[in-house]
Amino acid sequence: MELLIVGTLEGQIGAASKIALAQGGHVSLADDIEPAMDILRSGKAIELVMIDVKLDVYKFIQQLENERINVLVVACGVANDTSLAVKAIKAGAKEYIPLPPDAELIGAVLAAATRENHALIYGDKKTEAVLKMAKQVAPSEANILLTGESGTGKEIFSRFIHDNSKRANKKFVAVNCAAIPETLLESELFGYEKGAFTGAVARRIGKFEEASDGTLLLDEISEMDIKIQSKLLRAIQEKEIDRIGGKAPIKVNTRIIATSNRNLAEAVKNGTFRQDLYYRLNVVNINIPPLRERSGDIKVLAKHFAKKYSELNEIPLKPLSTAAEAKLENYLWPGNVRELENTMHRAVLMSIGDEIDENAIILNDPDSVINKPEVGEVMSGGEFIGRTVANVERDLIIDTLKHTLGNRTTAANILGISIRTLRNKLKQYEEEGFSVPAGK
């Protein structure tokens, strides 16, 4: 655990540092926000920041967000600083620790920060098989490509691979390629020198360099612009990167795990993804099935999320009723595990009585409820007879898009086609005069 203490902490820095060191942490010190930012920009593997509540916690957290530095922040102050404690929590601090520091409390916070929220909960044989494969290849140095629909838990599986690798005691760094604008992604990955461009007020170590000797997760890599793909390919092949504005290449030893919710082989054919980069990343491909194909996970995950959000909201834990379980299992979960988590959070808050019943399970898309045939009923394909394949395909695509409330990416995943193919089909249908659901 790498700990950064920011501020004077009312003269309690020495005591806090000793407790952190006794808990197995490594401590860095900064007397104010700017020196703290310099340490964080340097790429040092800081996992937890303890900041003096008398400093501008809001400004500090805003700077972290603006520079996309992900680190857990807790505020510290003397016990009677109630108003400042509330202000710090509202600003985004995860916890408030009163001073003088309590060894047991700091130990609990450090343990929670180390553990974070990366539990891999499952109950289905398909998930077990995926984990078995992941654990088998984790100790290797091979780059790994994780594929699967949005919300299936690709980042959780990525952390599982890292935690079971030879790099487990090194840093795991995640970059969401879809969330960062194309103009910023290069500097985010490779870093920059002071003065390299307008706004580069200090040197910033990029994620590639920050993850050296550890693991770099490139989440949703299919969204990466092809110009940056070429620089990424060089970094992987040559094991060196160039900071923007830098004068010499920098050697790195970074293992790559990439994820995609799209068909990258199709993207290669369409010219939106480099074939050579695809081969470099796809040394091992692990596909994570959607939640609707691993139904054994649904009940286990639902109970896990019910416990998590009961504790978070300080609500007594309630069991799931039989009818609630059936309702969860008879739903297709187009949003996968992420949707299930949101549903259970809502159910914990909405439930009345001694258990979580089916009325508290509010589903996002009623059209995704599985309508099981009655006993003796036969499913027929007669409705397709006399229609052309093109007409059936059009209706299937438009109906799927309605089912996803216009979300093109989710629809493409369900249909098993690329987003580009889907968009081309929809453009064709609009030109032919058919009504197409508004896009997201």
Say how many domains are in the chain: 4
Output the pLDDT for position 48: 82
Q: Please give the C-alpha separations between residue 300 and each of 4, 151, 292, in angstroms, as whole numbers.
A: 37, 17, 14
Q: Is 314 left (phi over 0), alpha (psi -120 to 50) or beta?
A: left
160-174, 241-255, 260-274, 362-376: range with lowest mean pLDDT: 362-376
Enter the DSSP assignment of 360. G
Flag the least confident range among 10-19, 119-128, 218-227.
10-19
The answer to whether residue 66 sits within a structural domain is yes
Angle ∠(88,93,99) on CA atoms, nearest 5: 70
| Confidence (pLDDT) at 104 | 65
Tokens 């739903």, residue located: 331
- pLDDT tens, 276-328? 999 999 999 999 999 999 999 999 999 999 988 898 788 999 999 999 999 99
Region 127-148: what's the mean pLDDT? 94
Q: How far apart are CA 294 and CA 178, in angstroms?
A: 26
pLDDT above 90 as % of the chain: 39
pLDDT at 231: 92
- Are 308 and 138 within 8 A, CB to CB? no
Nearest to 272 by CA among 238, 226, 338: 226
Range in 107-116, 169-178, 374-383 with the lowest mean pLDDT: 374-383
Tokens of 369: 């409820």
Question: Are residues 158 and 242 part of one domain?
Answer: yes
226 and 305 share a domain? no
Report the CATH number that the domain containing residue 410 is assigned in CATH: 1.10.10.60
Residue 409 has pLDDT above 90, yes or no: no
Cα separation, 94 vs 88, whole angstroms = 9
CATH number reported for the structural domain that contains residue 267 in this entry: 3.40.50.300
Instruction: Look at residue 70 and tell me if it is in a domain.
Output: yes
> In terms of domains, do 36 and 93 share one?
yes
Residue 351: burial class (beta carbons within 10 Å; 0-12, 13-18, 19+): buried
Specify the CATH number for the domain of residue 325. Answer: 1.10.8.60
Q: Quick one: pLDDT at residue 82?
A: 75
- 132 and 279 share a domain? yes
281 and 177 assigned to the same domain: yes
Query: Which tops the pLDDT comparison, 420 or 149?
Result: 149
Is 375 among the domain residues? no
Q: Which two tokens stand for residue 258?
A: 């990439």
Could you tell me the maximum CA-CA distance found in the chain, to the nearest angstrom?
83
Residue 260 lies in a domain: yes
Average pLDDT, the chain: 84
pLDDT of 20: 65
DSSP 79-125: TT-HHHHHHHHHHT-SEEEEESPPHHHHHHHHHHHHHTT-------H
| Same domain for 364 and 323 | yes
Confidence (pLDDT) at 327: 94
User: 13 and 93, same structural domain?
Assistant: yes
Q: Are 410 and 301 members of one domain?
A: no
Structural domain boundaries enclosing 216: 126-287
Of the CA atoms within 13 Å of residue 188, those in its CB half-sphere come to: 24
Query: Are 264 and 388 found together in one domain?
Result: no
Considering the domain architecture, whether residues 245 and 349 belong to the same structural domain is answered as: no
Judge whether 363 lies within some domain: yes
CATH number at residue 78: 3.40.50.2300
Same domain assignment for residues 35 and 95: yes
409 lies in some domain:
yes
184 and 250, same structural domain?
Answer: yes
Residue 385 pLDDT? 60
Domain membership of residue 243 (yes or no) is: yes
Q: Which residues are registered as beta bridge partners of 144?
A: 257, 284
Lowest mean pLDDT among 149-163, 224-238, 383-397: 383-397
**Within a domain: 436:** no
Q: Which structure tokens are listed for 73?
A: 């922040």
User: What pLDDT score was predicted for residue 418?
Assistant: 78
In which band, very low, low, confident or very high, does the pLDDT at 375 lie, cut at 50, 70 and 90?
Answer: very low
